[in-house]
Amino acid sequence: MSDDHILRALKDLREGRMVFIFDSDDREKETDMTIASEFVTPANIREMRKSAGGLICTTAHDDICRKLDLPFLADVLECNHDRHPVLKMLSPNDIPYDTKSAFSITINHRRTFTGITDNDRALTVSEFAKLAKTTQRMSDEEARAEFGKQFRSPGHIHLLNSTAQLLSKRKGHTELSTAMMVMAGVTPSATICEMMGDDGNALSKEKAKRYAERFDLCFLEGKDIIEYWKRNGKAK
């Protein structure tokens, strides 16, 4: 894939458009609808819900995770093994394509009602992105206090923690989409949703490509994002 295709995708992300990211034939074999969290609207949530159908999640760059003290959910559960022994038996130690889940906590913005409507989820996502941007100028203590002031947990938006040194170790959708946000120069948080097929499985790569072409949107493969990242890093 040419650099021009990646550059067009980065431009689309800066303009609040969707891009489609396929991870790998050797991994999940899934395509995620992807958009910069700071631009998410109720219409975007509705499109993901109706046309993708997977789990709508919001990623956080490692800098955001450390600033807000966002834990990995697996670590939270491990801390409660003594109190609830069943959690140890539920340990995610057999994921066939990964070594650790990216799942963090779930949140709702405090201005939401149930938190699940398109309006509520869009509010939670966009306000999380706004917080992630503004708290970079705060101390850790101030940032975490503001996080608690604005959000509650559990909620209906699943946060995903990116690993440190993006794409150096883990190459899942969390890292791929967050790396695209970094390179696009937007707040390093993506909102993503897996595309599901009517056969009960993930939508095939070929069908996901056709969907993207139908709406003149960019379709990227993880290997191309990784290669571009290695050559260009945080540029552009």
Instruction: For the chain, give every domain's residue range.
Output: 3-232
Instruction: Give the three-state DSSP class for 19.
Output: strand
Residue 108 bears catalytic tag: yes
In the set 119, 146, 156, 227, the catalytic residue is 156
Instruction: Give the three-state DSSP class for 53.
Output: strand
Could you read off the pLDDT of 17-44 as tens digits, one per residue? 999 999 999 899 999 999 999 999 999 9
Nearest to 189 by CA among 207, 199, 174, 200: 174
Could you read off the pLDDT of 138-149 as tens digits, one per residue? 999 999 999 999
Rounded (5°) CA angle 230-232-236: 145
| 156, 115 contact by CB (below 8 A) | yes
In the set 194, 218, 221, 224, the catalytic residue is 194
Average pLDDT, the chain: 95
Q: 3-232, superfamily in CATH?
A: DHBP synthase (3.90.870.10)
In the set 23, 28, 30, 32, the catalytic residue is 32
Residue 228 bears catalytic tag: no
Residue 161 bears catalytic tag: no
What pLDDT, on a 0 to 100 scale, did the predictor assign at position 178? Answer: 97
Confidence of residue 236 (pLDDT cuts 50, 70, 90): very low
In the set 108, 120, 158, 224, the catalytic residue is 108
Residue 235 clears pLDDT 80, i.e. is over it: no
Model confidence, pTM: 0.95
* DSSP one-letter string for 90-147: T--TT-TT-SS--EEEEEEETT-SSS-SHHHHHHHHHHHHHHHHHGGGS-HHHHHHHH
What are the beta bridge partners of residue 192? 34, 57
Nearest to 65 by CA among 150, 146, 164, 134: 164
